[in-house]
Structure formats: C-alpha cells, structure tokens
Amino acid sequence: VLGRSILKIGILTPSVIAGPPETFRKQVEARCIVGVERKGKALALHLHGNSTIPPAYLLVRLGMTGQIVVAPRAAPLLPHTHVRMALDEGADELRYCDSRRFGRLRCCSRKELSNIFGSLGADALQITEEQFRQSLYGRRGAIKGLLMNQAIISGLGNIYADEALFKAQIHPETPAGEITNSAARKLLNAIKTVLRRAVDLQGTSFRDYIDIEGRPGNFRARLCVYQRTGKPCLRCGTSIRRILVCGRSSHFCPRCQRRLRVFVPRGVAARGRGRSH
C-alpha cells in the first residue's frame, strides 16, 4: 500500500471505527499512504499531509480476528467485511474484515499516536536484554502473564508466549522476578526466534488470520505446545498439558518446563505441585 492513495471510504459497520465515522472518513479520504509503522500489535499507516492539513495516522488494531487485505475491487467480499477503502484509481481496495469485532480502526494525530505507542511496552523484537531483565525484576506475577501484558512488552499473544516459554524451558507459572539472568537471556532469545520464524511463515492461522496479500499463516504446523494438549512433547515425549495462567490457557511440557523450587511463594508452589500430577 505504500505510495498508494486512499480515494474513498465505504464504512459498512460504523462500530469498528473509533470515534465518529464521518470524522474518520474526512480525515482519511484523499490521502496518500507514505509510511507504515508498527509497535507490538498496533499498526499505523502514515497519511501524507500538506501545507493546510497536518499528517494523520490510520491506526489499525486487528484484535483477535481482524484482517486487513488488499483485494481487487471486483473480488467478492469476505464475510464480516466492515470497511472498504478504494486505492488509487479504484481498481484495488484496502479492506478491513473482522468476525469477532475486537479490532478497531482509528485516525489520529502524531501526538495521539505517540501517546498510544508510548502506553505500550518495548516491542518484543526490539527490546534489549537489559530492558527485558528490568521488566522482570521484582515481579511476583507469573511470567506467562507478564509476557502477554502489552504495557510491559508488546507484541506477544497467547500462542507465541506459550511457544517461547517452551523453547526456553520455563514453566508458565514461574514468578517473573525469580527468573535468573541466564534464563531471561534464553527466554528473550526464544521470544525473538519464535516471532521472527512466525513472521517468515506469515503468522499462525487457526481460523481467521490472513496477511495483507490474503495468505493464511504457515506457522501453525511449527507449533510445539500451543493447542497440542495431550500430544507428545516434541523434545521428550511427555504429554503436553494445559492449565489456566492469569485466566488464559497455557500449554506446556511438565517435564521440559519444570517449576522452579527456590523462593516460590507457598500458595503458588502448592498449587503448582497439585496440578503437576
């Protein structure tokens, strides 16, 4: 979409737009896309400004099931298509589809975008080892919850958090502050490796995810633990288990990802032991 202009917008479902749809339309129509930026799971298309209009930013949050695709205008509409943005001469469209409608489109100023990006923790692919260690320091909560907390580290969801913890051989309920420096380094490497590999394979599709070219992700076949409950661990053959951590299902190998025994608060340790049999 870089260098292409959004000519005209058709809003089929106003509720996917944050703020008044008419304002959104006025702010976005007849603008050229001059840049694309991402932090964590938030995408921003930079819209060209001029002497009379300041630049604007089209923020896209896909939520659980959002899809943003470029499609020929003549192509049949996918179910749950909510916004159509005609590109250039109108032969192609940028389409926003979302079956569960947790995603949102929003037009904002540079200042608003900076505030939104500023509220997100360091991007998971950019975060340094030092920043990562600092973010774990003194935290009693489960590492799994911390990895999914977008205000601390942005970009990881349930799938990639489970996969990274498996790769680093860390139990999802381990209190974040008890992770040693060497384990933190291993975990950060695992996070970046898992994310890069998933990006190379265009992501992970269970039901809905497709990339901007409309291709489903191929990372699903590479998943080691996520939604493999009861199947053998690819490393040791033990059955993969599923537990709830911070209200989200977490998949792990009870043998490869043992609970740390040191400094574990008593209540948490008892629960962990109970569940591991």
Minimum gap (Å) between residue 226 Cβ and Zn ion: 14
For the bound state, the minimum distance from the C-beta of residue 3 to Zn ion, rounded and expressed in Å, comes to: 48
CA dihedral defined by 144, 145, 151, 152, rounded to 10 degrees? -50
Q: Which helix (H) or strand (E) holds 112?
A: helix 110-118
Q: How far apart are alpha carbons 54 and 72 in whole angstroms?
A: 30
Residue 44 or 240 having the CB closest to Zn ion: 240
Footprint on this chain of Zn ion (rule: CB under 5 A): 233, 235-236, 238, 253, 255-256
Q: Do 6 and 29 form a contact (C-beta atoms < 8 A)?
A: yes
> What residues contact residue 233 under an 8 Å CB cut-off, 6+ apart?
224, 225, 239, 240, 253, 255, 256
Q: In angstroms, give the least distance from the CB of 168 to Zn ion.
A: 13
C-beta of 191 vs 233, nearer to Zn ion: 233
Tell me the C-alpha to C-alpha distance, in Å, between residue 214 and each of 24, 85, 208, 276.
25, 16, 11, 41
Q: Which of 154, 161, 168, 183 is nearest to 262 (CA)?
A: 183
Closest to Zn ion by CB, 62 vs 240, is: 240
CB of 121 to Zn ion, least distance (A): 30
Find the shortest distance in angstroms from Cβ 120 to Zn ion. 33
- Contact by Cβ (8 Å): 154, 38: no
Closest approach of Zn ion to the CB of residue 276, in Å: 13
C-beta atoms surrounding 81 within 10 Å: 19
How far lies 260's CA from each of 64, 72, 142, 163, in Å?
A: 32, 54, 12, 19
Q: Which is nearer to Zn ion, 119 or 239 (CB)?
A: 239
Nearer to Zn ion (CB atom), residue 23 or residue 238:
238
Min dist. Cβ of residue 240 to Zn ion (A): 8
Residue (220 or 255) nearer to Zn ion, CB: 255
Report the relative pairing of strands 153-154 and 122-123 from DSSP bridges: parallel
Nearer to Zn ion, 111 or 277 (CB): 277
CA torsion 174-150-98-172 (nearest 10°) is: 0
Residue nearest to Zn ion (CB): 233
